[in-house]
Chain A
Amino acid sequence: MASVRIIRPAAALSLALALPAGADTFSLDGFVGIEARNFLTFDGEPRQIYSLTGEIRSGGALTDSLSYDLRLYGRTNLDGLDGSYIDPTIAKLTWQRGNWQIDAGYDLVFWGVAEGRNVVNVINQRDQIRDQFFDQGLGQRMIAVRYFAPSVTVEAFVLPGFEELDFGATGRTWGLGLPVDDSRSTFEASDGADHTDFALRLSGGVGNLEYGIFAFDGTLRQPEFQVDTATNTLIPNYVQGEQIGAEAQYTTGPLLYKFEGVKVWPDSDSTYWSAILGVEYIIGDIIGIPSETSLFAEYYHDSRRDDPSVAFENDIFLGTQFRLSNTFDTEIELGVIIDTDDGDFIGSFNVSSRISDNLRASFEYIYADASDQSDGLFNSRDIDQLFVSLEWYF
């Protein structure tokens, strides 16, 4: 039977925060759920994964200037497969006074303006088990100091350690061509995953323009992979490096123009840069159906054009999100990333809706088609999958 892995030694802190003795007012809510994922074209094992999921959230004020937030997510596979874990996504104390704020603990930080992917969202490791397209993040240990000016925020982060990308069940396909053995991960830093990283960010808005710039020094979240020919598996290798990045969004009426760019200096590899240019357009009711629809078009560029491990180096994302104006908050999403060199693509169709006051159901279909062996998308051919989930919120 697979053991439940507690991603960080934070359980004690999380439990301590869950029962704040001095809290004036606090909230307690969360969900429990069940998920099923079925790989449609994968020849290996596992082809199905069934999981129980759950999350507990709590928050409240401890004093006039001190508050706590807790968000503890966990999952376990019903069929004994690896991939069970508990993630203290948020488990922090927040001190606020005037224009200053200090957060200490585990937190979730999102940077970026694009929809299909985000190249500037570099603080938290992604939780690809929860979301194949990296929308969800794992909690990150940090001390964050923020200064809020009227239209500008300056943030400094000390990040003691980071989370490895979790590849779940042994042998599970991730569209990489070979299974990943994350039990043998290697690190460029001598102190491994305990290396302390640093980041600075300045963000703000002027009228309809929102912007952010950042600098980061430490462990790059996305690993490189080394092939172990003896076991025919991929071994993640986390390298050190520096990066700077910028993001901007300009909103005018129903149009949103977006940019994300990052330049990376790996300590032991060549410098590269990645960028996203995008536009979002909002449409109101369609053929009399009360709704709001977002249309997305984004272009992805990465200077590592000849590196077959880089999937999105010259690609276009086209997507739509259709939000029905009903009491069930029904959302339908359709998106596809197309390689402009050879037409290879990966796409997804997602429907999510509340089906009662406390129950939310989701369905997702992911499909990929690729034939160019020199492109990073080629290995995504076996990623086709169906996913359903049911979550009960309390």
Chain B
Amino acid sequence: MSTKISRRTLLATGVAAITLPRFALASNPEDIMRKSREMRRGLTNSMADVTMTITARGRSTERKMRQYVLETSNSGNRVINVFSSPADVRGVSVLTHSALDGNDQQWLLLPSVGRVKRISSSNRSGAFVGSDFAYEDLSSFELEKFKFSAAANASVGGKTLIQVDYAPTYSGTGYAALRSYLDPSHYQPVQNHYFNRRGEHVKTLQLSRYKSYGGGAIWRPHLLVMTDHAKGSTTQISFSTFTATGTAESNFSANRFQRVS
């Protein structure tokens, strides 16, 4: 009898594991997003080649860059983007020190005149190099930048996902609210919805081609597709495989990032 109960219990537990999303174990939205962040961190110092394809009014243009990312334990990520295409901006490079409060520091290298310029990062809602991504969409995800309001089950495309609602708390944002749908198997977002101040759903980001690193402890998407519903345009960002050997940690500084190409 006890064996049967035990088997039923095990069977029930197994079914629940398949049918119930794991977030039921941690339904606090901030805890869920903390876990999501933890499960995409760990490469510490990585590099990837990035191709951005912007499609609007039937015309596509492509930008290419090499991206170096340094994860830090007590502050936001440090990122170097070095553009290689279009050809007239080849070598232009941007260093970003993400801040937990959203007030990122940024430096721009203009190789044509040999100038490194500290620039303002206040235009967070502005379009990144003419794409459908705003600067804030590409800034590193830090819990301190958001206020989390709710988490729930949601059925999307026949799959049960974890829906988390939250809102930016930093100044200069173009959004009143965001909604992420996380895959419960690795707690990574597969869709983000962006809402403006009128509550309109203005943009959708789809994240796919997830690959795991570090023996399954680290998950990264390799394809991002942002759709601007008002403009009818889309921007696709594809990443090469992330390599764990980026550039020297010391190069993620204002006086040395021009060494990186």
Contact = CB atoms under 8 A, between A and B. Distances in A.
Given A96-B259, A108-B113, A253-B122, A327 B54 contact: yes
A251 B118 contact: yes
Given A153-B255, A251-B118, A255-B120, A290 B86 contact: no
Contact of B87 (A136, A283, A394): A394
Interface in A253-302: 253-256, 280, 282-285, 290-292
Name which of B127, B130, B255 has the most chain A CB atoms within 10 A of its CB: B255
Contacts of A280: 120
A327 B126 contact: no
Q: How large is the interface on A (under 10, 10 to 19, 20 to 34, 35 or more residues)?
A: 35 or more
**Helix, strand, loop or mixed for chain A's interface?**
strand
B88 A108 contact: no
Contacts of A137: 113-114
Interface residues of B, number: 37
A358 interface: yes
A75 to B, nearest CB: 15
Contacts of B88: 31, 329, 354, 358, 360, 391, 393
B61 A136 contact: no
Nearest to A284: B123
A152 B256 CA distance: 10
A284 B255 contact: no
A260 B129 CA distance: 30
A173 B117 CA distance: 32
Interface in B94-133: 103, 105, 112-120, 122-123, 125-127, 129-130
A39 to B, nearest CB: 25
B250 interface: yes
A59 B260 CA distance: 12
Given A148-B255, A325-B130, A256 B123 contact: no
A285 B126 contact: yes
B153 interface: no
B120 A393 contact: no
Contacts of A101: 259
A328 B16 CA distance: 53
A357 interface: yes
Contacts of A208: 105
B169 interface: no
A150 interface: yes
A136 to B, nearest CB: 6
B123 A282 contact: yes
A14 interface: no
A19 interface: no
A292 B126 contact: yes
A112 B126 CA distance: 27
B217 interface: no
A292 B123 contact: yes
A344 B197 CA distance: 47
Nearest to A150: B253
A314 interface: no
Given A107-B114, A124-B114, A203-B255, 11 more contacts: A31-B88, A150-B253, A210-B118, A210-B254, A251-B120, A253-B171, A254-B120, A285-B126, A292-B126, A325-B130, A329-B89
Interface of A: 27, 29, 31, 57, 59, 96, 99, 101, 107-110, 112-113, 124, 135-137, 148, 150-153, 203-205, 208, 210, 249, 251, 253-256, 280, 282-285, 290-292, 324-329, 354, 357-358, 360, 391, 393-394
- The 3 A-B pairs of least Cβ separation, nearest first, read A393-B87, A325-B127, A108-B114
26 contacts: A57-B90, A96-B259, A99-B250, A109-B114, A110-B116, A148-B256, A151-B255, A153-B255, A204-B255, A205-B118, A208-B105, A251-B119, A251-B120, A255-B120, A282-B122, A284-B122, A284-B125, A285-B125, A290-B127, A324-B130, A327-B130, A329-B88, A354-B86, A357-B87, A358-B86, A358-B88
